[in-house]
Structure 1
Amino acid sequence: MEVELKLLLSPADNDKLLRHPLIAAHARAPVRTQQLSARYFDTPDLHLLRHGAGLRVRKVDGIWIQTMKAGGSVQSGLHQRNEWEGPVDRPWPRLGKLRKLIGDDPQWLQVLAADGLKDRLEPLFVVAVERHTWDLDVDGNQIELVLDHGHIERHGRQVPVNEIELELKDGDPASLFAFALRLQEHIPQRLSNTNKAERGYMLCRQTGTVPVRATAVQLAPDASAAEARLAILNNCLQHIQRNENAVIEGDDAETLHQMRVGVRRLRSALKLFEPLAPCPPEILEDIRWLGSELGAARDWDVLLASTLTHIQAHPGSRNGVMDLQALALKSAQDKRHAAAQALLSQRYTRLLLAMGLWMQQPADDTDEPATDFAKRTMQRLHKKLLKRSRRMNEGEPDTIHRTRIAAKRARYALEFFQSLYRGKGPRAYLKTLSAVQEELGRHNDLVVADRLLRELAQENDAAAPTIQFARGYLQALQATQPPDQDAIRAELHALRLP
């Protein structure tokens, strides 16, 4: 099993890395430099990719080396994959030799047993890099540090490669995060969740940046609470990081929304497991900062795409609303740019590395079953939700907001633990909470819209009359279409925990 961290850095910092005293202090031998060119193979219908595998042939010191990587996962930025590697006598895969390396693993033998696989394989793209390699001893942990500089190419199209790989050869995975954090103090980096093969396939499929929603958490029936914690936190981090590039490179509002949801899920998960493993305050502060950066951009997206459309659609609205939308669009774009810059910042990289390092540390010694922990947690959250709902008051928007947050936390928690339940009980509960959250969310959108419009008025005197009209219209809408608090309270009190 290959275990490694991947970090992106600017080519301008390569010389700084090559001369870095931290590397010299831990290197067991002089740096090795190689020119590497690898061809990646698959079928026209991408059979290997669809099964989570990558196959390459690369020439190393005059010898052709065949490598297949498959399965595994990326958790907190830590890549863990099965790897089978051995020499071949040509620049083309030898599937027979690969089967021998795999041995008796039925899953991957079945992948290679596909009809006509040998004849359908073709080279899809080439990865060509100059590689610098150091063998490090870091407090007894054996780490291979690699700097790759080059490109990935398919049919004349290229994407650059400039990355660090920290591969654990022997020792504690936490040492990878700790060393990366020390390196990051002097050289700006970004944690990467995509490997070279994945980037090459992006060239093949010409895929853009698309929003990625949360995947279901799968917990074993006999999982402990500590095991559930790690699985849930990793699920939240994957949700965040899989939307990262789309927020940086694209302009789809949904990608930013999904990343913000990922941060909210992460904060909820950390709160759930606080008695088991309190998160360090400095990490919590950085997560709050990240949520704030994404939230500011998301609020303007909602105002622009949803809230202001109510005014535009109204026959009595003024022509100036179009100008108001233009001002809101400019603010939304500015906040989106600020969010992207936050993701490119070293504070964000430190947050991910620090989070990964902390998660490698053992939680409090407990053998409590996850089923017991989930039951106790859901009872507490349900009780709090009912308490919040009883305190809702139309004249106090904060009380409605707190009820919405309580519903959201209960919903996230049950989604985290859903695989531990049998039957359809969780579905009915989640459906009700989603409906409550949506209705109260519409009310919250109007509250947020009023705040944003007041900010916009302070910055744009000429648009003040139009903004005042919009505020009045939305306030009237809020007054005439308030959430039915009595119905919500009744619905929540009728709910039964699964």
Structure 2
Amino acid sequence: MAIEIEDKFDVPAEFETPEFTGVPGCAEAVDLVSHNLTALYFDTPDLRLAARGITLRRRRGGEDAGWHLKLPKAKGVRDEIARPLTRSAKIVPRELADLVQAYTRGEPLIPVAELETLRKVTSLRDAEGRPLLEVADDHVKGTVFGEDRHVDRWREVEAELVGGDADVLKRVGKILRKAGATPAGSANKLARLLGPRIPVTPVPDPDDGTAGRVVVDYLRSQVAALVAQDPQVRRATPDAVHQMRVASRRLRSALKSFSGVVAETTGIQDELRWIANVLGEVRDLEVIRERFAAHLDTLDPDLVVGRIRTRLGDDLAERERAALVRVTGVMSGERYFALLDRLDALVAAPPLTPLAMKDAERTLAKVAGKSWKRVVGKYETAQAIEDTEQREIAMHDVRKAAKRARYTADALKPLLGDQASVLAKRAKAVQEVLGLYQDGIVAQQIVLEEAQRAREAGEDTFTYGLLLGIERADADRSHSEFPGVWAEVTGEDHS
């Protein structure tokens, strides 16, 4: 994997490459060997990848021949995954095909275009000869396949950071523009070639300043966040499962909290809860494994006996890997693809209510207030329960209400500013202390289960007892801290 940081420019056929003198830190500009590059691009028949700014190609020639998948990360930055050339020129390697399933959703990948490029590269280097940036001057011939097959030719220049910083890229861009280059009108060569063939879904936007506009913009951001994490989860990128799960939870919370603005989303909420639960198995194992490792590292080595590090480390990691395989299996299924389709439809044509046309600040401030009142109501209900066990179960509902209030406040921070930040801080404090207590209870159960397995295998279980004591003490501490936390946040609320 590599992160590309680059700027692209359109230039006329007669463009003359300028001198790059005066670039900070650049001691020389070296012309490298020219290359003839041929790239075959793959997409679904209806160009779903191109519509998302994604390119998947098989390229021959040059120093980086092979398969390349480029996923957009931010303006001017792309996440590139490269794999060696395969024998077949028309079958996409399974690994790369899997990484775009969130976009293809069962549709086949076929060759849609070919680009032939004569590339001349100038390398900008520092005084020690280390490369800072490369300027590629490309003469391009593009061929579109299909019923409307056609050929197009053009010239473009690309400046890509290699070892320099953003100032180098900025300075080179200024020199190129002064020489007659203009910022590229398309994100990449393929987008320029395919042009109007790339599908564009009309997205009606609610008016600025309305509640509908704020809510829909937030929903779109979270749908994009969820889909962007899909290939990262499939690659087992650190924290990807957590981030995808958070996006699904934030979406579900927003649909609940803003049901007065966007209606008819109960079915989508149910499916978002389903995918969050699917992801939860991996995430929970990851968290508990790291938790136990941290506890064991704090103990005197003489107190860590038996196979406990293996059982609570390697064995849990193996269970985590197996769970991830199950997750990616689910993420290759029709139910998951149907959820993504429903999310796309939701943000493209949201079922807005009359309330969506109301003033955003006044309308959504009320929603934020109600979200906190819900937390208070759940707490009062729990405290009215005399049975200790049932009261603890009810306190779990307080934690869930606090999480929802926090997500609601986070969504409204750009609109409500400090008001939303204060609410988010209160909700987070309640959520975290109750979450620590719940995590301690779950951890104790796992320790007891693993200790029983160790005992049955004839292993020394002394350290399990120590861990159980640590977890119990942590849970008790969180339990005893909660009244103080609650008094603090509600005291601010009533001041």
TM-score, normalising length from structure 2?
0.58
Given candidates 466, 475, 489, the residue that maps to 2:486 is: 489
The offset of 1:317, in angstroms, is 4.9
Instruction: Say if 1:312 and 1:496 are closer, same or farther in 2 by CA, change over 3 A.
Output: same
Match of 2:284 in 1: 299
Given candidates 390, 397, 401, the residue that maps to 1:406 is: 401
Q: Confirm whether residue 384 of structure 1 aligns to residue 374 of structure 2.
A: yes
The offset of 1:339, in angstroms, is 2.4
Instruction: Say if 1:428 and 1:7 are closer, same or farther in 2 by CA, change over 3 A.
Output: closer
Match of 2:221 in 1: 235
Given candidates 352, 369, 392, the residue that maps to 1:363 is: 352
Given candidates 439, 443, 447, the residue that maps to 1:445 is: 439
Q: Deviations over 1:454-488 (max 9, x none)?
A: 66578775389749634465235423553422212
CA RMSD of aligned residues (A): 4.8
The offset of 1:290, in angstroms, is 0.9
Match of 2:363 in 1: 373
The offset of 1:447, in angstroms, is 2.3
Given candidates 347, 352, 359, the residue that maps to 2:335 is: 347
Match of 1:475 in 2: 472
CA distance in 2, matches of 1:43, 1:241: 37
Q: Deviations over 1:11-63 (max 9, x none)?
A: 6699xxxxxxxxxxxxxxxx997533358999989xxxxxxxx998632469x
The offset of 1:381, in angstroms, is 1.0
Q: Confirm whether residue 58 of structure 1 aligns to residue 58 of structure 2.
A: no
For residue 482 of structure 1, give the secondary structure of its aligned residue in structure 2: helix
Q: Deviations over 1:219-243 (max 9, x none)?
A: 9995212112211111111222232
Counterpart residue identity of residue 224, structure 1: T
CA distance in 1, matches of 2:225, 2:408: 16
CA distance in 2, matches of 1:478, 1:43: 61
Q: Deviations over 1:146-182 (max 9, x none)?
A: xxxxxxxxxxxxxxxxxxxx514xx8569xxxxxxxx
Counterpart residue identity of residue 462, structure 1: A
Given candidates 17, 28, 51, the residue that maps to 1:4 is: 51
Instruction: Give yes or no for contact 1:233–1:266 (8 Å, CA) kept in 2.
Output: yes
Match of 1:247 in 2: 233
Alignment of 1:10-409 (within 5 A): 35-37=114-116, 58-60=140-142, 91-93=155-157, 114-117=174-177, 144=197, 167-168=199-200, 172=202, 222-252=208-238, 254-307=239-292, 309-315=294-300, 316-324=303-311, 325-361=313-349, 362-366=351-355, 367-390=357-380, 391=382, 395=389, 396-409=391-404
The offset of 1:305, in angstroms, is 0.4
CA distance in 1, matches of 2:211, 2:118: 44
Match of 1:435 in 2: 429
Instruction: Give yes or no for contact 1:307–1:446 (8 Å, CA) kept in 2.
Output: no
Match of 1:156 in 2: none
Instruction: Give yes or no for contact 1:44–1:120 (8 Å, CA) kept in 2.
Output: no
Instruction: Say if 1:327 and 1:42 are closer, same or farther in 2 by CA, change over 3 A.
Output: same
- Percent identity between matched residues is 19
For residue 435 of structure 2, give the secondary structure of its aligned residue in structure 1: helix
The offset of 1:384, in angstroms, is 1.2
Counterpart residue identity of residue 490, structure 2: H
Instruction: Give yes or no for contact 2:434–2:482 (8 Å, CA) kept in 1.
Output: no
Counterpart residue identity of residue 276, structure 1: V
Instruction: Say if 1:263 and 1:232 are closer, same or farther in 2 by CA, change over 3 A.
Output: same
CA distance in 2, matches of 1:232, 1:327: 40
Instruction: Say if 1:221 and 1:487 are closer, same or farther in 2 by CA, change over 3 A.
Output: farther
Instruction: Give yes or no for contact 2:258–2:367 (8 Å, CA) kept in 1.
Output: no
Counterpart residue identity of residue 243, structure 2: Q
For residue 58 of structure 1, give the secondary structure of its aligned residue in structure 2: strand
Q: Which moved more, 1:350-359 or 1:387-396?
A: 387-396
Instruction: Give yes or no for contact 2:225–2:247 (8 Å, CA) kept in 1.
Output: yes
CA distance in 2, matches of 1:39, 1:401: 63
TM-score, normalising length from structure 1?
0.58
The offset of 1:397, in angstroms, is 3.3
For residue 155 of structure 2, give the secondary structure of its aligned residue in structure 1: coil
Instruction: Say if 1:221 and 1:318 are closer, same or farther in 2 by CA, change over 3 A.
Output: farther
CA distance in 2, matches of 1:8, 1:333: 29
Instruction: Say if 1:258 and 1:60 are closer, same or farther in 2 by CA, change over 3 A.
Output: closer
CA distance in 2, matches of 1:356, 1:248: 21
Instruction: Give yes or no for contact 1:43–1:117 (8 Å, CA) kept in 2.
Output: no
CA distance in 2, matches of 1:341, 1:387: 40
Match of 2:411 in 1: 416
Instruction: Say if 1:463 and 1:486 are closer, same or farther in 2 by CA, change over 3 A.
Output: farther
For residue 276 of structure 1, give the secondary structure of its aligned residue in structure 2: coil
Counterpart residue identity of residue 397, structure 2: R
Greater Rg, structure 1 or structure 2?
2
The offset of 1:249, in angstroms, is 0.8
Counterpart residue identity of residue 167, structure 1: P
CA distance in 2, matches of 1:353, 1:476: 46
Instruction: Give yes or no for contact 1:277–1:364 (8 Å, CA) kept in 2.
Output: yes
